[in-house]
Structures are given as structure tokens and as C-alpha cells.
């Protein structure tokens, strides 16, 4: 009888594990599965087990291709299975191509003359998923805000980041959901980041993989009126509820789609963008809407230098700017009073009211 051995955390069993077990079992006549103990998970992953070990044991034992199940308790990194492996002396240790501990595992195999078999990545029978991905999906919110940015846009893109620079933005309502989206698509409001969050994905990595910045998923996840430090990853510097902006903001759709990756390489005045971010950060600290308006004017001036079309109806508001990188999508308009804002929205069919949104605070 040829005996096969596999090991892993197997914290949340999914179809990818089932496929791996089937392929490992096909290498021999008997399959032993070793899963990591709660102590191993905490020591090396810094997380608790998703279910009690007795339940995990029962689930693994119920799989038709699995002949026996053991729990790995060795705390040596990557070798929690070692004690069982040396005792049982199987013929094969099967691993996946992305196994991180190949050197240590080969050494253990050599001690008993077992074969170390790397199973190739065969086309999955199911869309690939991970335990981390499952947890994100479980925790994914049913609704999410979008965002407007006031100053420092582009300083969240890693290659354009500046030490000391800031990014100032605000999560907004109405909220969106997978089935309800009250905004235009590709509009400069961080919709792709919100969509990633609603689908249980890591929004920051999703945006960085597109070659753009992290400000959208950062503020959509954090919510509130936020000041971030410019850098490679989000670092929150200051947060307010956004009450200083309640009743004062509206959006106007420019009737053109927005595409940040397409415009990322354009020439722009990064010094003016940086200066505007510093003024905006001061405004949030002081909760001064008039000072924030100064920063928005500076940000808009940088957009105009870049060659964007002038925004309409500027004489009807305190100030305005394109959202996101501009060149289409929505523009955010700031007003002196709620009555001015509401009158603006009534006059213009492409305008809509928005409010700052903080999770767990007030009514969205």
C-alpha cells in the first residue's frame, strides 16, 4: 500500500482543498491529512481558528478521499506535521507548487526515504479562493459609501507620493450596494473600490494592481472626513465626522466618463497639489469649511493647469473641483449654506445632494 501525506492549515475548507486532496489521493492508496492546531495557527498566522478543532476533524474525516486525519502541533515554522510524519513514515509527501517551506519539508522526507511530490497547478474545477478571501466575503458589508476628494489627489499613487504630503477626502452617502447604485459608473467617486469591498475583496490591493492610488478604498473602508499621509500604503493622520460639511455639498455630472489609469501619466503641478493638501489638512484640523474651500480652489487650479474643461455654474457656489483625477466624471460643489446647495440641485438636473458619511454615526 502506497501512503500519501498532506498538511496545511485547512482553517476553512473550500473546493480548492477538495481538489488538492483528490489529486494527492490519486498518487497512492491511502491519504492522511494533517491540519494545524489552534496553537500553530495563532503562533504563525496570528489568528484564531474559524471553527473548533473537533469540527474541523469531523469535516476532514467525512471526505471520501481522506483515509485518516491528524492534527499538527509542532511549533517549528512550516513543520507542524513533522511528528506525525516521522511516526507514520508515509511514502509520499504531496505539496502544491506555491508551498513556502519546500527546503524544510524535503529534509524531513529524506530522513525516512519518502518522496517529495509537487502537484502542478491544474486548471481549477472551481474559481480559486482562499481562506482569507472567504473571511473577507463573510465580512463584506451590504452597503458602502463612495467618496469625494478635496486635495492631495495623486499623492496616494505610490510613484507620485511625497514625504509630508497629505490626501484629504470624505466618504459620502447615499450609499451603494451590489443591487442599488445611484451614481454614474466610471465617475471619479471610487466606485471600483466600493465594488471590491462589497464583493469581499481587498480594495487597496485591487486599486494598486490597477496602477492607481489607494485613497478610494482607504476612505471607503474607514469612512468619515479623513486626512491621510502620502506614501506607499494608507496611513491615517486625522479623522473627523464631516459635520462641518453637512448640508453644503453637491455633485454635478459632467456627462463624460472618468478613467484614472488613462490619465495617470499626464504632466501636472504636483507642488500645487501638495500645497493644497497642506491647506486642506489644516482646515480639517480646525474644522473650518472656508479654509477647506481655499484648498479646493487650489486643487481646481491644478486641474485647470492640466488642461481640463472649465466647470459650469461656478458663480453659483463657494468653490468646486473635479472628483478624482478629473477629466470627466463628477465634480464636487461646495456651498455657503444648505439653502444655496438645495437651490442649486433644484436648478440643475445633473446635480444631486450628498452628505458626509461615518459608519455608526448619524443617519445616512
pLDDT tens digits in sequence order for the chain, 364 residues long? 899 999 998 888 888 889 999 999 999 999 999 999 999 988 888 777 888 889 999 999 999 999 999 999 999 999 999 999 999 999 999 999 888 899 999 999 999 999 999 998 766 665 666 666 666 666 667 899 999 999 999 999 999 999 999 999 999 999 999 989 999 999 999 998 898 888 887 767 666 666 678 999 999 999 999 999 999 999 999 999 999 999 999 999 999 988 877 888 889 999 999 999 999 999 999 999 999 999 999 999 999 999 999 999 999 999 999 998 899 999 999 999 999 999 999 999 999 999 999 987 654 4
Query: pLDDT per residue over 315-361, tens digit each?
Result: 999 999 999 889 999 999 999 999 999 999 999 999 999 999 998 76
What does the pLDDT read at residue 197? Answer: 85
pTM for the full predicted model: 0.67
Please choose, from the candidates 187, 219, 189, 188, the residue with its C-alpha nearest in 3D space to the C-alpha of residue 203: 219
Give the three cell numbers for residue 22: 483528490
What does the pLDDT read at residue 362? Answer: 56
Bridge partner list, 356: 172
CATH 3.40.50.620 fits 3-136, yes or no: yes
d(CA 64, CA 59): 11
- Sign of the CA dihedral with 53 first, then 58, 59, and 64 last: positive
Q: Where are the alpha helices (DSSP H) in the chain?
A: 15-25, 38-45, 53-61, 82-88, 102-112, 131-139, 191-198, 203-209, 215-222, 260-263, 270-286, 289-306, 338-347
What does the pLDDT read at residue 363? Answer: 45
Choosing among 3.30.230.120, 3.40.430.10, 3.90.1150.10, 3.30.2130.10, the CATH entry for 140-356 is 3.30.230.120
What does the pLDDT read at residue 364? Answer: 40
Where are the domains positioned within the chain? Answer: 3-136, 140-356
Contacts of 341 (CB under 8 A, 6+ apart): 247, 248, 249, 250, 333, 335, 353
What does the pLDDT read at residue 50? Answer: 81
Please choose, from the candidates 71, 74, 47, 69, the residue with its C-alpha nearest in 3D space to the C-alpha of residue 59: 69
For residue 2, count other CB atoms closer than 10 A to its CB. Answer: 11
d(CA 254, CA 326): 10
Q: N- to C-terminal Cα distance for the chain?
A: 64
Give the three cell numbers for residue 278: 497642506
Contacts of 327 (CB under 8 A, 6+ apart): 256, 258, 259, 263, 308
Amino acid at each position: 500500500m502506497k501512503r500519501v501525506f498532506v498538511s496545511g492549515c485547512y482553517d476553512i475548507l473550500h473546493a480548492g482543498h477538495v481538489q488538492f486532496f483528490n489529486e494527492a489521493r490519486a498518487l497512492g492508496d491511502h491519504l492522511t491529512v494533517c491540519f494545524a492546531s489552534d496553537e500553530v495557527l495563532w503562533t504563525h498566522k496570528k489568528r484564531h481558528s474559524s471553527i473548533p478543532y473537533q469540527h474541523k476533524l469531523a469535516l476532514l474525516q467525512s471526505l471520501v478521499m481522506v483515509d485518516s486525519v491528524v492534527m499538527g502541533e509542532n511549533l517549528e515554522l512550516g513543520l507542524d506535521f513533522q511528528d506525525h510524519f516521522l511516526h507514520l513514515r508515509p511514502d509520499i509527501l504531496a505539496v502544491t507548487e506555491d508551498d513556502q517551506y519546500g527546503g524544510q519539508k524535503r529534509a524531513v522526507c529524506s530522513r525516512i526515504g519518502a518522496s517529495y511530490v509537487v502537484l502542478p497547478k491544474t486548471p481549477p474545477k472551481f474559481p480559486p479562493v482562499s481562506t482569507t478571501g472567504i473571511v473577507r466575503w463573510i465580512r463584506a458589508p451590504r452597503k458602502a459609501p463612495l467618496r469625494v476628494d478635496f486635495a492631495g489627489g495623486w499623492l496616494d499613487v505610490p510613484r507620485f507620493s511625497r514625504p509630508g504630503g497629505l490626501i484629504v477626502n470624505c466618504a459620502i452617502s447615499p450609499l451603494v450596494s451590489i443591487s442599488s447604485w445611484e451614481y454614474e459608473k466610471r465617475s471619479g467617486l471610487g466606485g471600483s473600490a466600493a465594488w471590491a469591498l462589497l464583493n469581499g475583496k481587498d480594495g487597496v490591493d485591487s486599486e494598486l494592481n490597477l496602477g492607481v492610488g489607494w485613497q478610494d478604498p482607504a476612505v471607503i473602508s474607514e469612512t468619515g472626513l479623513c486626512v491621510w499621509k502620502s506614501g506607499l500604503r494608507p496611513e491615517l493622520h486625522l479623522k473627523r465626522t464631516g459635520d462641518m460639511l453637512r448640508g453644503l455639498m453637491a455633485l454635478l455630472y459632467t456627462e463624460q466618463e472618468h478613467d484614472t489609469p488613462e490619465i495617470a501619466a499626464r504632466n501636472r503641478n504636483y507642488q500645487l497639489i501638495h500645497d493644497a493638501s497642506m491647506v486642506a489638512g489644516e482646515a480639517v484640523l480646525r474644522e473650518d469649511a472656508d479654509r477647506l474651500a481655499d484648498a479646493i480652489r487650489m486643487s481646481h487650479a491644478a486641474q485647470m493647469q492640466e488642461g481640463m474643461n472649465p466647470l459650469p455654474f461656478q458663480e453659483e457656489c463657494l468653490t468646486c473641483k473635479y472628483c478624482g483625477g478629473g477629466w470627466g466624471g463628477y465634480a464636487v460643489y461646495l456651498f455657503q449654506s444648505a439653502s444655496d446647495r438645495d437651490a442649486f440641485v433644484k436648478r440643475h438636473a445633473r446635480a444631486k445632494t450628498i452628505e458626509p458619511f461615518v459608519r455608526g454615526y448619524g443617519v445616512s
